[in-house]
């Protein structure tokens, strides 16, 4: 999921291995502008859904991608953004 001009918000994280299989941790500095974009998205009634407990919620998405630092260390990048249905593409390298 690449950040596009249609993303309502995007929050990026560098996820570090916790020395266990498939276990990562992340800390990120999210700009206030991105938090306000998420708030605006959540307050728009068109984006509201009901969660499994019947509470108001919004659907978001996350994508993790393997990455290598300049020093050669392996880690995962994660981006959290507004949910968008997967678009059909002629390419086999679809990103959603």
Answer for the pair 6, 35: CB distance below 8 angstroms, yes or no: no
Q: Per DSSP, what are the bridge partners of residue 56?
A: 50
Q: Does 2 have pLDDT greater than 70?
A: no
Answer for the pair 81, 1: CB distance below 8 angstroms, yes or no: yes
pLDDT, greater one: 95 or 40: 40
pLDDT, greater one: 90 or 56: 56
- Say how far apart CA 83 and CA 10 lie, in whole Å: 11
- pTM, two decimals, is 0.71
Q: What is the pLDDT of residues 31-47, one digit of tens each?
A: 999 999 999 999 999 99
Answer for the pair 96, 63: CB distance below 8 angstroms, yes or no: yes
pLDDT computed for residue 65 by the predictor: 94
Q: What is the pLDDT of residues 43-79, one digit of tens each?
A: 999 999 999 999 999 999 999 999 999 999 889 999 9
């Amino acid at each position: 999921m690449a950040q596009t001009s249609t993303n309502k918000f995007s929050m990026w994280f560098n996820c570090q291995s916790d020395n266990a299989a498939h276990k990562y941790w992340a800390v990120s500095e999210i700009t206030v502008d991105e938090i306000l974009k998420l708030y605006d998205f959540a307050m728009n009634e068109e984006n509201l859904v009901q969660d499994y407990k019947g509470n108001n919620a919004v659907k978001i998405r996350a994508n993790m991608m393997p990455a290598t630092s300049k020093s050669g260390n392996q880690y995962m990048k994660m981006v959290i953004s507004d949910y968008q249905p997967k678009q059909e593409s002629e390419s086999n390298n679809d990103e959603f």
